[in-house]
A and B are shown apart, each in its own frame.
Chain A
Amino acid sequence: MFRDTIKGLDKIIEEDIPKGSIILVTGAEGTLKSSLVFGMISRYLEKNNEFGLYVTLEQTKESHMKNMESMGLTTNCALHMFDYSDMRAEWKDNELDIIKVTEEIIDFYRCKQEKLTVFALDSLNALCSLSNEPNFRRSLYYFFSNLRDKGLTSFLIMETPLSGTSILAYDTGRPEHFLADGVIELGLIEAAEGVKRYIQIRKMRGVNHRMEKNQLVVGKQGLSVIGSIYRSN
Chain B
Amino acid sequence: MKIGGLIYVMLKVIEKELNLNEIENISELENEEYNKFVDRIVKANKEIFVLYVLANKPMCGYDVIKEIFLRTHVFLNQGTVYPLLYSLEEEGILCAEFTRGNMRSKLYSIAIEQSETIQKKIELFVKAVEFIPNFFKW
Which residues of A are in contact with B by a Cβ distance under 8 Å? 82, 85-87, 89-91, 96-97, 100-105, 107-109, 112
Contacts and interface: CB of A to CB of B under 8 A. Distances in A.
Contacts of A105: 79, 82-83
Nearest to B77: A104
Given A87-B82, A96-B78, A107-B79, 5 more contacts: A89-B104, A89-B105, A101-B79, A105-B82, A108-B84
B125 interface: no
Nearest to A89: B104
A85 B105 CA distance: 9
A101 B82 CA distance: 10
B62 interface: yes
B78 A91 contact: yes
Nearest to A106: B79
Given A86-B61, A87-B61, A90-B62, A108 B83 contact: yes
- Most chain A CB within a 10 A radius of its CB, from B86, B105, B106: B86
Interface of B: 60-62, 77-80, 82-84, 86-87, 104-106
A106 B84 CA distance: 12
Contacts of B78: 87, 91, 96, 101, 104
Main SS of chain B's interface residues?
helix
A89 B60 CA distance: 11
Contacts of B105: 86, 89-90
A100 B79 CA distance: 7
A90 B60 contact: yes
Contacts of A112: 87
Given A89-B104, A90-B105, A104 B62 contact: no
B94 to A, nearest CB: 13
A221 to B, nearest CB: 29
B79 A109 contact: no
Contact of A86 (B79, B80, B82, B87): B82
A198 B130 CA distance: 64
A101 B77 contact: yes
Nearest to B106: A86
19 contacts: A82-B83, A86-B60, A86-B82, A86-B104, A86-B106, A87-B82, A89-B104, A89-B105, A90-B61, A91-B62, A91-B78, A97-B77, A101-B77, A101-B79, A102-B79, A103-B79, A105-B79, A107-B79, A109-B83
B61 A108 contact: no
B80 A108 contact: yes
A108 B80 CA distance: 7
Nearest to B80: A104
A108 B87 CA distance: 10
